[in-house]
A and B are shown apart, each in its own frame.
Chain A
């Protein structure tokens, strides 16, 4: 063999025993009821919830459902509630939990597919359609052969700051307002509106945006509980942006 390395796990690693308390429920299985099952696992250095869940599935229970895609904190697939905090499981190290007890629950506020898997995709797509979350350029026909229109470098940078949302659903699950009011658009929706509102290439006016979020399902339904701000894995400025939109929308009344 000629490669310098072969395996992800080091030899002779013997860490502490972790107890995973995992929510289990298969809504499609007749007679199945929500319950918590406990799995034990030996911790290895650098172990993440991603590694742990895969080990549990491979070695203990092949029916366990969960979602991972990039496993690098980029795609937003794996959000779940870990010991009471909604966050990305792939980049949560087990070493963070001193007690060795880790409770995993699916994200509330989304349709449950099974166990830890929820349907965030359907939610985000419906939201995008409802709020028209895409650029509405001033000119639809552009000449792709000619030099592009310039944009202030600062604006481009500011746009990317707001665009870092990975649609993981954490802000939605952490929002009690959303839980009580199903049609509420949540921070993810407002953050995206704020992104397009900032974009000089977007032709929509404040009045246009008011139609979309100037209501009880939008900025005026938000009670500033800040679950979004406090849990966003990308540290997006939800509080600041929602406040900005609220001022902007309120200003259209005057």
Chain B
């Protein structure tokens, strides 16, 4: 293999990395939300989930290892960073590109392109909000639980961060998965595309509803 070939193949690697990191993040996101939603089943349920996540079943005293959460936060942070780095060069970064995009959207307002613009916007929001969230939980993993989280959300103004993050990340993830499926041809004909679009919208809606409900469910636990 000559040098040129080697250099060129980075493009493929970057594109693959973007898709794979995106899929991993989406899976993490949805699992994470499901776990958090355990609050809907009551404080005890969530307590159990939080402890289990800290691998309480492995520790002798049953308290688990809160640093596991920190490690997860760091890992996710790294994954996000990777995802951002490989995706960044696709965004309109220069003024010229932004103008071109705006003009294009004005002349030809195409649906899937609008969707992508929302994905880009939500991506930026996630990029700003996620590190704060990761820092908050990663720095104080022992506080995760029905009471600590409720305190963070409702007494320390965490909801101001979580509501926009929830909306942004759920839109971003569902559109992202939809695009990855089409991009690599995992879906067949046009019919499946229409179905996929529907599935994507339903996924966003459900996760946002579950997320909002969970936030509300924390409220009674905030002392």
Contacts and interface: CB of A to CB of B under 8 A. Distances in A.
A108 B108 contact: yes
Contacts of A149: none
A246 B15 CA distance: 10
Interface stretch (B130-138, B151-159, B164-172, B182-190): B182-190
A19 interface: no
Interface string A208-249: 001100111011111111110011000000011001101101
B182 A176 contact: no
A231 B89 CA distance: 26
B3 interface: no
B160 to A, nearest CB: 32
A112 to B, nearest CB: 13
Interface stretch (B99-107, B141-149, B199-207): B99-107
A111 to B, nearest CB: 15
Interface stretch (A78-86, A88-96, A113-121, A155-163): A78-86
A250 B110 contact: no
Nearest to B110: A227
A121 to B, nearest CB: 21
B112 interface: yes
A173 B9 contact: no
Contacts of A102: none
B59 interface: no
B48 interface: no
B5 A253 contact: no
A83 to B, nearest CB: 10
A220 B11 contact: yes
A243 B182 contact: yes
Given A180-B92, A227-B113, A85 B12 contact: no
B32 interface: no
Interface in B77-116: 89-90, 92, 97, 100-101, 103-105, 107-113, 116
B4, B112, B179: most-surrounded residue (chain A CB, <10 A): B112
B179 A173 contact: no
Q: Which of B92, B179, B183 has the most CB of A within 10 A?
A: B183
A250 B15 contact: yes
A105 interface: yes
A227 B112 contact: yes
Given A250-B16, A253-B13, A211 B8 contact: yes
B14 interface: yes
B7 to A, nearest CB: 10
A216 B18 CA distance: 13
Given A173-B108, A243-B182, A253-B16, A210 B113 contact: no
Nearest to B180: A224
Nearest to B120: A223
20 contacts: A84-B107, A174-B108, A176-B101, A176-B116, A210-B8, A214-B9, A214-B11, A220-B11, A223-B90, A225-B110, A225-B113, A226-B113, A227-B112, A240-B185, A243-B184, A244-B185, A247-B185, A249-B12, A250-B12, A250-B16
Given A227-B108, A231-B108, 18 more contacts: A81-B108, A108-B108, A174-B110, A176-B101, A176-B105, A177-B90, A179-B104, A180-B100, A214-B11, A220-B14, A221-B11, A221-B90, A239-B185, A240-B189, A243-B182, A244-B185, A250-B15, A252-B9
The 3 lowest CB-CB distance pairs between A and B, nearest first, are A243-B185, A220-B15, A220-B11
Interface of B: 4-5, 8-9, 11-16, 89-90, 92, 97, 100-101, 103-105, 107-113, 116, 179, 182-185, 189, 193
